[in-house]
Amino acid sequence: MATTERSTAAMSETSSALWHQGWYAPAHALPSPNFGSRPVGAQIDLVVLHSISLPPGQYGGDEVLRLFTNQLDWDAHPYFQSIRGIEVSAHFFVRRDGMLWQFVDCDARAWHAGASCWRGRDNCNDDSIGIELEGLEGERFEPAQYDALTRLIHAISQRYPIRHVAGHEHIAPGRKLDPGPGFDWHRLQASLAWPAAMFPPGSGR
């Protein structure tokens, strides 16, 4: 077998070990009811990064897990009244310590982007994978999160034809601000060793 063929076979075996259909084996699976089918022919070529904490600025609880599975107690905190009744999800959630959760099969359409547009296409939910980072927009993220995120995006790119990585703030400008100026895009680009053209213009430095 030629070197290129061996390399391709090895990558295929690695990808198979990491994925059970659209579920990433290293993540803790917690299926959400908030998802749908992708349009026929959708190319899953975009990763969208978000930040979330519930209540805002508080970390370590199970509120985000409950939100994405429609089990949040809306009366448990005053802030929750402002989001009462929403039904949302993301494919993944990366904790401050790097722990990874998955809520939606990556072959399916999670409800994370809302009204959005990137690389000339509207409705980014249709052809993207959404990753939530535990954090507050504008604040810094933890080294463990960058490490987990790098591994996750690398694994996603082995299964899907990823060509772009953007933040919620980039695909929904004026409406969303996350992950915000505290997120180090240059660090992510360097750790992935991907071209700058795959990231939002001006996000590197």
Catalytic residues: 132
Contacts by residues 62-68 (CB-CB < 8 Å, ≥ 24 positions apart):
64/93, 64/132, 64/134, 65/30, 65/93, 65/101, 68/30, 68/32, 68/34, 68/93, 68/103
Tell me how far apart the alpha carbons of residues 139 and 154 are, in angstroms, rounded to a whole number.
Answer: 25
Measure the CA–CA gap between 186 and 66, rounded to whole angstroms: 32
| Helix or strand (DSSP H, E) at 58 | none
Return d(Cα 1, Cα 121) in angstroms, integer. Answer: 41
Query: With contact defined as beta carbons under 8 Å apart, do 149 and 27 qualify?
Result: no
> How would DSSP label each residue in 73-140?
-TTSSGGGGGGTT-----SEEE-TT--EEE-S-TTSEES---S-EETTEE-GGGGEEEEEEES-TTS-
